[in-house]
């Protein structure tokens, strides 16, 4: 059995480098940029008006009016002081103009423009290259692409982007006693909550599984399902069948398929029977325990970091926060304990509350929780008012969970 720190180190060291693919802009949101983006033009590419108004030259009592300048035209220059041109937002500012006056500050009588409040020289003009210079790097490799970055890339003249691929993940739940959620369990049977729990977790995090399967506790059936899942995925996530029982066949089946286990148990609670293996081609396997809460904790604290790293995301380590306990926590020495908590931020910091129940099989205890706190292996508990480390759950904290 290895420590949580050693387990994470092993996972990170055995996560393959991300691969690169090219996507059109419309499909690149949510990915990590695999190249630097340099603008081929200056932005703005010309001096343009920041608003509807009048481009004027000089400070005068009144102005003769030229023809209106709409966006997308090439206006003639303003010939001298005392001349103005009506101008639309985004239109090129004519040569010779020294400012743009907003419509609301002007009046036109008998074809003459007068200005009630004169703006400063240069006002309301977006000058050429004031935002971006030609050849400037506007986006760096490693950037997480949002719609804002898509727009910037388009302004820089790009139709496609090189991005890191998202690894393909398959899910395999196991157990002869496990039945579909729509069936009524007979004595000794349980509904399959883990399949939809894992697949929905992955989908919410941006890693929708390519295949979700279930197998009874039968070596031949498990081998067939695992081989089928691995044929279309880079990572296989299993739930159940990884402990030391006589019907826990997952490890031996994966070894038969060419996988080497880096660890079989981790000194954590919940989730001790967590395993991790790789094969010679770089495919990975995470064997999660069968208890749903153990599954959820393992997904949050181990698998998701791996998926982010494999996708080229430089922010894949959990950000550690500190919160004050509003309750006491009890544990036995020997393993690092993860506690589901309800974190609330006050003006004085984070306060951590505990749900009513905390069993590893009690999925109801996760409702309303938004964080995971932990106590080190040597600890035997913490009293109310103690400050302890915690992290927000991924669906509650989003990108703030990561560093």
Q: What CATH number should be reported for the domain holding residue 173?
A: 3.40.980.10
For residue 146, the enclosing domain spans 22-42+133-164
Q: What CATH number should be reported for the domain holding residue 391?
A: 2.40.340.10
Q: Is 236 in the same domain as 355? A: no
Q: Is 66 in the same domain as 187? A: no
Q: Is 249 in the same domain as 202? A: yes
Q: What is the pLDDT of residue 241?
A: 84
Kindly report the backbone phi and psi dihedral angles of residue 308, in degrees, each rounded to the nearest multiple of 5, phi listed first.
-65, -45
Q: In this structure, is residue 316 part of a structural domain? A: no
Residue 242's pLDDT band (cuts 50, 70, 90): confident
Of 245, 278, 310, the residue that ends a domain is 310
Q: Is 83 in the same domain as 37? A: no
Q: What is the pLDDT of residue 184?
A: 94
The dihedral built from the CA positions of residue 271, 272, 278 and 279, taken in this order, carries a sign that is negative
Of 310, 334, 363, the residue that ends a domain is 310
Q: What is the pLDDT of residue 176?
A: 92
Q: What is the pLDDT of residue 146?
A: 96
Q: What is the pLDDT of residue 359?
A: 57
pLDDT tens track for 27-36 = 999 999 999 9
Average per-residue pLDDT for the chain:
95
pLDDT tens track for 156-185 = 999 999 999 999 999 999 999 999 999 999
Per the structure, the count of domains in the chain is 4
Q: In this structure, is residue 210 part of a structural domain? A: yes
Q: In this structure, is residue 382 part of a structural domain? A: yes
Average pLDDT of the residues in 41-66 = 96
Q: What CATH number should be reported for the domain holding residue 37?
A: 3.90.105.10
Residue 213's pLDDT band (cuts 50, 70, 90): very high
Q: Is 97 in the same domain as 79? A: yes
Q: What is the pLDDT of residue 358?
A: 59
Q: In this structure, is residue 315 part of a structural domain? A: no
| CB-based burial, 340-368: b 16+ in 10 Å, e otherwise | bbbbeeeeeebebebbeebebeebebbee
Q: What is the pLDDT of residue 360?
A: 53
Q: Is 69 in the same domain as 106? A: yes
Average pLDDT of the residues in 230-247 = 88
What is the C-alpha to C-alpha distance for residues 10 and 59, in angstroms, rounded to an integer? 72
Q: What CATH number should be reported for the domain holding residue 98?
A: 2.170.190.11
Of 291, 310, 329, the residue that ends a domain is 310
Q: Is 173 in the same domain as 160? A: no
Q: In this structure, is residue 338 part of a structural domain? A: yes
Q: What is the pLDDT of residue 247?
A: 72
**List of long-range contacts for 196-205, beta carbons under 8 Å, 24+ apart:** 197/292, 197/295, 197/296, 197/363, 198/171, 198/173, 198/237, 198/239, 198/288, 198/295, 198/299, 199/171, 201/296, 201/299, 202/169, 202/171, 202/237, 202/299, 202/307, 204/394, 204/395, 205/304, 205/307, 205/394
pLDDT tens track for 112-155 = 999 999 999 999 999 999 999 999 999 999 999 999 999 999 99
Q: In this structure, is residue 93 part of a structural domain? A: yes
All residues at 6 or more sequence positions from 182 whose CB lies less than 8 Å from its CB, including other chains:
none
Q: Is 196 in the same domain as 111? A: no
Q: Is 302 in the same domain as 234? A: yes
pLDDT tens track for 349-399 = 999 999 876 555 578 888 889 999 999 999 999 999 999 999 999 999 999
Q: Is 195 in the same domain as 289? A: yes
Q: In this structure, is residue 289 part of a structural domain? A: yes
Strand partners, 336: 268
Q: Is 141 in the same domain as 27? A: yes
Q: In this structure, is residue 104 part of a structural domain? A: yes
The dihedral built from the CA positions of residue 292, 297, 300 and 306, taken in this order, carries a sign that is negative
Ramachandran bin of 384, using left for φ above 0, alpha for ψ from -120 to 50, beta for the remaining angles: beta
267 contacts 375 by C-beta, under 8 angstroms: no
Average pLDDT of the residues in 189-193 = 91
Q: Is 147 in the same domain as 178? A: no
């Amino acid at each position: 059995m290895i420590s949580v720190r050693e387990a994470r180190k092993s996972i990170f060291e055995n996560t393959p480098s991300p691969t690169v693919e090219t996507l059109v802009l419309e499909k690149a949101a949510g990915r990590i940029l695999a190249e630097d983006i340099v603008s081929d033009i200056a932005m703005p590419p010309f001096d343009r008006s920041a608003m509807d108004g009048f481009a004027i030259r000089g400070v005068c009592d009144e102005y003769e009016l030229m023809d209106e300048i709409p966006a997308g035209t090439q206006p003639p220059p303003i010939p001298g002081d005392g001349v103005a041109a009506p101008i639309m937002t985004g239109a090129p500012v004519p040569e010779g103009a020294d400012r743009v006056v907003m419509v609301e500050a002007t009046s036109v009588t008998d074809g003459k423009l007068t200005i009630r409040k004169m703006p400063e020289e240069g006002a309301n003009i977006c000058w050429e290259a004031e935002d971006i210079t030609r050849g400037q790097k506007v986006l760096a490799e490693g950037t997480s692409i949002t719609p804002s970055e898509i727009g910037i890339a388009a302004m820089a003249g790009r139709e496609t982007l090189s991005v890191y691929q998202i690894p393909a993940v398959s899910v395999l739940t196991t157990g002869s006693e496990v039945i579909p959620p729509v069936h009524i369990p007979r004595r000794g049977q349980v509904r399959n909550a883990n399949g939809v729990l894992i697949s929905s977790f992955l989908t919410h995090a941006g890693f929708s599984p390519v295949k979700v399967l279930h197998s009874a506790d039968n070596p031949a059936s498990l081998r067939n399902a695992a081989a089928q899942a691995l044929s279309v995925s880079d990572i296989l996530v299993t739930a159940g069948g990884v402990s030391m029982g006589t019907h826990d066949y997952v490890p031996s089946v994966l070894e038969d398929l060419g996988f080497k286990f880096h660890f079989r148990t981790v000194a954590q609670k919940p989730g001790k029977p967590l395993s991790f293996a790789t094969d010679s081609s770089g495919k990975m396997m995470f064997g999660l325990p069968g208890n749903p809460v153990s599954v959820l904790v393992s997904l949050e604290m181990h698998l998701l970091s791996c998926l982010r790293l494999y996708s080229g995301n430089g922010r894949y380590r959990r950000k550690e926060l500190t919160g004050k306990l509003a309750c006491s926590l009890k544990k036995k020495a020997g393993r690092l304990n993860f506690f589901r908590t309800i974190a609330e931020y006050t003006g004085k910091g984070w306060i951590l509350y505990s749900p009513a129940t905390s069993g590893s099989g009690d999925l109801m205890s996760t409702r309303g929780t938004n964080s995971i706190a932990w106590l080190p292996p040597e600890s035997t508990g913490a009293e109310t008012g103690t400050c302890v480390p915690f992290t927000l759950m991924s669906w509650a904290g989003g990108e703030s969970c990561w560093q």
